[in-house]
Every structure is written in structure tokens, then in C-alpha cells.
Chains A and B, each alone.
Chain A
Amino acid sequence: MAIVSVRQLVKRYGDLVALDHFDLTVERGEVFGLLGPNGCGKTTAINCMLSLLTYDKGTIELFGEPMGPARYDLKRRIGIVPQQVAVFNELTVEENIDAFCSLYVADRTRRRTLVDRAIAFVGLGDFRRFRPQKLSGGLLRRLNIACGIAHEPELIFFDEPTVAVDPQSRNAILSGILALVDAGATVVYTSHYMEEVEQICGRIMIMDRGRAVAEGTVGELKGMIGIGEKIVVEVTDLPEAALDAVRYLPATVSASYRGRELHVACAQGESHLAAVLEVLASFGVAPVRVYSEPPTLNDVFLEITGNELRDHGAGDERPAGR
């Protein structure tokens, strides 16, 4: 059953169309990655799904039922881990988790158990009585997560939860998310870090200008773009004629020589490494080092959404009239 079902969602801010007939389906138990450049409508889509924001057209169903601002029965089953750390500086770790958990669970005894579990889950046992100012960036992020998941929601939205954390904390957070999914949760995950999306998300949607422009597994997305493997050959010197010859190979999408390295982007299909090396040998160029790698999600993202900068002026925060 689809946990999240969004159909033909339209959201306008005056003349700007933030969501343009946007569709989304998230199945139970999956980690769904929502990618897109800044201002593409990710957060607007999430806010609409959470009923923090009204929309002009379309339908949103969560857990098979229409979502609305007063659907507290559905909200009780949802958790959110916002991008910005949202905790109370005057309360301790334990109190913060309990304060947010109390928005979902009224029973104090049950809440105590849930808070203990959340603290253990994010590994903040030694910091229960610490106030947020005393926590490092990584620990703060973990507290931010604990506040969002303490009530054991079935559907969790993670909005760039690993911004500005060290690799160790990032790994801990990603492992934690996978553990939540193992425990039965469904996760909608947004991030600009392609490698971590590639690492944990089963399915990914790439959004641009308020629309879903690509959707599928990592493999499916990589198959959608024209670029295949990328070959890098380190050489001491490369004659211009040799570079031109590589460019004229049928599978070459682009080739460039910079800093003693020849970079060749090839088309989808078989490996073209042998053909490239053969051309170089014909010009008497001896490779010092050679390696080849498949396209990354980053390549997919850039090819689909383009290379131009997307942040305009004051950023993408804007007020919305209800």
C-alpha cells in the first residue's frame, strides 16, 4: 500500500508556480529520496504533505486517507526531522525529546519509555542532562533526529539531516535511518549529498521547477542519462592530435586534457577503455595511470537539472498567504 500518494499537486506563490502538477508515491517500508536544486519545490511539497501549507490543486493521501490540517490521527503517525536544528535551548536533551514527544503521546509513562528508547537510539545516553548549547554539531543533529522520531512514527520526513556534520556522525545518522526502516518505518529523505542518497535510498525522485523530472532506482536513473563510464588517463604529455582522435571515437561524449589528466566521458553501453588506450598508443602516448568509473548520481543530477546556478537573490524563503 502507498503510504504517501500525491496527485497533480499545484502550489502557486503569486505568479510563481512552486509545484506544477506534482505526483509522488511512496510505498511502505522504503527509503525514498527526494532530490532537486535549491528552490525546486522539495520543501514546499513536504510542507503541503504535512498540511503546513495549503495548495491550489491536487490531492494528498497519507496512509490511504486524505491529509488535512486537522487530521491529528494521521499527524500522530508522522515524524519530521527538519533541516534546521529545532530544539529548545533552555531544556535538556531528555526534556527536549519529551516536550516534542508530548505533542503526540499524552501518556506520561509510555512517553518515558519512548524517550529512553530515542535517547538510546541516537546514542545520547551520556548527554541526557546536557542543554543543547553544550552539544557538538553532530550531537545536536542526533538530538534533532531524536525529537522527530521519539514517538515512533510510521512515516518520517528527513529534510537534509546531515548538513554540516562530520563523516562519523553522518555515518551514524545514515545507519540510524536504515535501522528505523528495518523497524518498519517509511522514510522520505531529502539531501544535496548525492553519495548518501545513493547509499540509503531505494527509489529516488529528481525534482526541478516544481515537477518530477526523473524517478527510479539508482540504476534506473543512471540508465536514463547519456553518459556512461568516465575514463581518466594520466599522461606526461598529450599531443593535440591524440586528443582530437579520442574526441572522434564513436562512444566519446566529451574529452578534455587538464593537469596531465585526460578525461573522457563515454556514452552508455560497453566499456570503451580499450578503444581509448588504443588511440593513445597509436600516438606513442604511454599512460602513467588509468582508471574508469561508472556514472554517479551526481552526474545524473547535473545532466537532468543542468549546470546553471539556481539560487536567486534572497534565497527561496517566501511567505505564503493561506
Chain B
Amino acid sequence: MLTQIYYNIRMTLRSTGVVIWCFAFPLIMATIFMTMFAGMQSNQSTHTIKLGVVEDTGWQDATGLRTLLEELAYPSDAEDEVPLLALTGYADRAAAEAGVRAGAVDTALVIDANGTEHLLVAPSDAGSTDQAIVQTILDRYLQGEELAGALAKHDPAARANAEARAALAENLSGEQAATAELSVLREPPSELSRFYYALLGYSCIMCSTIAQTLIDRTRIAATPEGSRRQVGALSPARQLAAALVASWLIVMTSMMLAVAYFYVVAGISFGGRVWLTPVACGACALVSCALGAFVGALPGTQAGVKDALITIATLALSLPAGLFGTPALEVANWLSQHMPLAQLLNPAVQATEAMLSLTFYDSLAPFASACGALLAIAALLGAGALIFMRRQRYVCA
């Protein structure tokens, strides 16, 4: 039986189709994802906003605002941090306006004689994100000032001296005044990693063609080689086992290669539990073998039809796993809400869920549940395959 397993593996790995679809394809897709997502991430990166300031008496008098902007332009607590602002000083409003029009700065701040702040923007560049950010900083500052003023009205002692003013400023801007972010997930949620996990599900279904082919090659009249094998002195059960073990090993290897590529090259962390991924891959590989056996055992079906069935199953089952972008994710969410059983019985969804729960949940229960669902699907398909196999026997008369 070991020799049969060995030759099953050998002949499968020499099949160009298997190498391309089951080994190269997930890696190629992951590389494409990396390229696409790298573009999206670079769009989200921060950069320094060029802010012009008119350094007149208004600027000199606005101590609080000046301190805030200088702190944002020259951060003292993080040397390698990219500063949010780059300040450029102008002697008067006209020079600042010229600078804005020339594009030397994104926007410029003028504080008039009444202490009112004004932002200068070029007509051609009005409403940019950078201007909105500066606007938000100013708004936040002014709200703080207003709040401090209101407090002082009620409690004049709050701004009575420098010490009291410092304490008030500390209370208004300190950490206790901010909203703290707490996460119930092990890792910050990332929509991008979902695509990689869905790709694993897709790959698992696609690989079922391996089991289907190997099983066809052990069955009477499915292929000439199958008929010849059945004349041999090795029992059909052992030949079937050899085909399933070989296909499980190949699918497992293919999935682990993909996981390794995602982990090492694409930087997918698997929640620091990459050591548990073989469990999920093993369960996925079982489903793959069982599905291949089921399709391979379908009565009265030509090999070409079986190939087509697996391709259709791969695409149809991967859709609700969210592999094909936002519309697919919406379909997946709708199905999860309205047809949870369909999602539970979908191996591509369960493969994705297993990886997602491994990554994001503290508890391993959801992961175990997804793996359990995969094993149950494998058992169902395997039982179906056995029933079909026992009922058929084809020979030439």
C-alpha cells in the first residue's frame, strides 16, 4: 500500500494541472493580493502638511494655539515620528496668500487683530484633506478654549494663576479626557486578511480534483488503469485508502505551503497562532479528499463533467466566503444572516472561519467549532461517496 501511496503522489505531482492550480495558483493570487493591498495601504499613510503662519503680533499673542501647532510640527516625544505639520513663517498676510497660491504651503493661518483665526486656501485647492485636517486641529483647539472659558466663568479660581491654568489645561488635554480604544479581538481587525483566508478555502475545494482523479484511477471502468488495478492482489479498500492518503498528503502540503507564504511573505500573522494552522489545514484537506471522492464516485458521469463540477463547486462555494471582493462579502453577510445552515455546510466558508477565529478570538472554541464543521462536512461527503461506490460496478460485456 505504501508503494501505491508513493506512486499516487508521484504521478499527481507530475501533473502540470495540479502543480499550477493547487500549488502555484494560491501563491500567485496571494502575490496579486499583496500588490493590490500594498497600494491601498500606501494611500492610507500619513504625510506632513505644509502650513504657513503669519508671524505677526496676533500669532505671538496666541500662545496656546502657537504652542499646539509647534508641538505638532516639532514633536519632542518621538524622534522618528513623521511630524503632522511643517510650519512656514510669513511676514504678513499678502506673503502668506502668495505662498498659498504658489503651492508652497497647503494652507496658511492668519490671526487678526481681534484674535480670530482665518485659514487661507487657494481657490484651485479648496476642500483638500490636508486643509480639513488643519481645520479640525483649529476647531478642536477653539472648543477647548471655549470650554476653559466657560469653566472659568463658573469657577474663576480655575484660571486664577499660572498653576491653576496649567492644571486646567492638563485636565482638558490629558489622557483622562480622551477616549481609550479597547479591542475584544486578539489583533486589530483587518479586512485584508479575510481574502487570504478565503483563498485557503478556495484552494481546498480546488484541490479536490486530486482525490477525484486518483480515485478514478482505482475504480473499475472509470479508467483503464483503474480496471487493471482492480484485477490486482491488493484489495479495493486498500487501493482506495492509498488514493485518499496520497491526496490528503498533497492537499495538506499545498495548503501548508500557502500558509507559509502568507505568513512569511505576505505578513499574515494568524493571531500569533500559526502553529495551529496545520489543524485547520488538515481538516480542510479531509474535506477536499471527501469532496473529490464524492464527485469521483458520481454514477454515470464522464471525467470532463466531473472536472467541470469541481470547478463550478470551487467558484460557487468560494463566493460566500468573500473571496471575490466587497459584493461577495455582502452576499456572505446576507447568507450568514438569512441562511446560516448554508454557510455552516460550506467548506470554503468554514475554512475561512477557522482561520479568522484563530486570528481574532481569544478563545479557541470558535476555531474548534469551524474545524468540527469541516470534519462533519468531510464525513457527510465521504459517506455519500461510499454509498455511490458500493452501488456501482462497470465492466465491458
Among B1-45, those with CB < 8 Å from A are 3-4, 7, 10-12, 14-15
Q: Give the CA-CA distance A88 to B229 in the complex, in Å.
A: 11
List chain A residues, Cβ under 8 A from B393: 52-54, 319-322
Min CB distance B38 to A, Å, is: 38
Q: Give the CA-CA distance A246 to B262 in the complex, in Å.
A: 92
Q: Is A154 engaged at the interface, CB distance under 8 Å to the other chain?
A: no
Say whether, besides A90-B10, A90-B14, A147-B228, A103 and B397 are in contact (CB < 8 Å): no
List chain B residues, Cβ under 8 A from A43: 395-397
- Name the residue on A nearest B225 (C-beta): A86
List chain B residues, Cβ under 8 A from A88: 7, 11, 217, 225
Interface code A135-152, partner B: CB below 8 Å = 1, 0 otherwise?
Answer: 000000000000110000
Stretch at the interface among A68-76, A122-130, A252-260: A68-76
Interface residue count on the B side (C-beta < 8 Å): 30
Determine if B10 and A91 form an interchain contact, defined as CB atoms under 8 angstroms apart: yes
Stretch at the interface among B58-66, B230-238, B317-325: B230-238
Determine if B233 and A95 form an interchain contact, defined as CB atoms under 8 angstroms apart: no
Contact of B11 among A90, A106, A318 (CB under 8 A): A90
Say whether, besides A84-B224, A88-B225, A90-B15, A104 and B232 are in contact (CB < 8 Å): yes
Min CB distance A315 to B, Å, is: 9
Q: How many A-B residue pairs have CB under 8 A?
A: 103
Determine if A53 and B228 form an interchain contact, defined as CB atoms under 8 angstroms apart: no
- Name the residue on A nearest B393 (C-beta): A322
Interface residue count on the A side (C-beta < 8 Å): 44
What secondary structure prevails in chain A residues at the interface with B? loop
Q: Is A298 engaged at the interface, CB distance under 8 Å to the other chain?
A: no
Determine if A316 and B11 form an interchain contact, defined as CB atoms under 8 angstroms apart: no
Determine if A52 and B3 form an interchain contact, defined as CB atoms under 8 angstroms apart: no
List chain B residues, Cβ under 8 A from A99: 3-4, 7
Q: Is A34 engaged at the interface, CB distance under 8 Å to the other chain?
A: no
Interface code A25-69, partner B: CB below 8 Å = 1, 0 otherwise?
Answer: 000000000000001010110010010111000000000000000
Determine if A86 and B395 form an interchain contact, defined as CB atoms under 8 angstroms apart: no
A/B interface sample: 23 pairs, CB < 8 A: A43-B396, A43-B397, A44-B397, A52-B220, A52-B227, A53-B393, A75-B232, A80-B231, A84-B224, A86-B223, A86-B225, A88-B225, A95-B10, A99-B4, A100-B229, A103-B233, A104-B233, A104-B234, A148-B228, A317-B397, A318-B396, A319-B300, A322-B393
Residues of chain B whose beta carbon lies under 8 Å from any beta carbon of chain A: 3-4, 7, 10-12, 14-15, 217, 220, 223-225, 227-235, 300, 391-397
Residues of chain A whose beta carbon lies under 8 Å from any beta carbon of chain B: 13, 18, 39, 41, 43-44, 47, 50, 52-54, 70, 72-73, 75-76, 78, 80, 82, 84-88, 90-91, 95, 98-100, 102-104, 106, 108, 147-148, 316-322
Known: A86-B228, A91-B11. 20 other contacts (CB 8 A): A18-B397, A39-B397, A43-B397, A52-B227, A52-B231, A72-B234, A80-B228, A86-B227, A88-B225, A90-B12, A90-B14, A95-B7, A100-B229, A103-B232, A106-B3, A318-B396, A319-B300, A320-B393, A321-B393, A322-B391
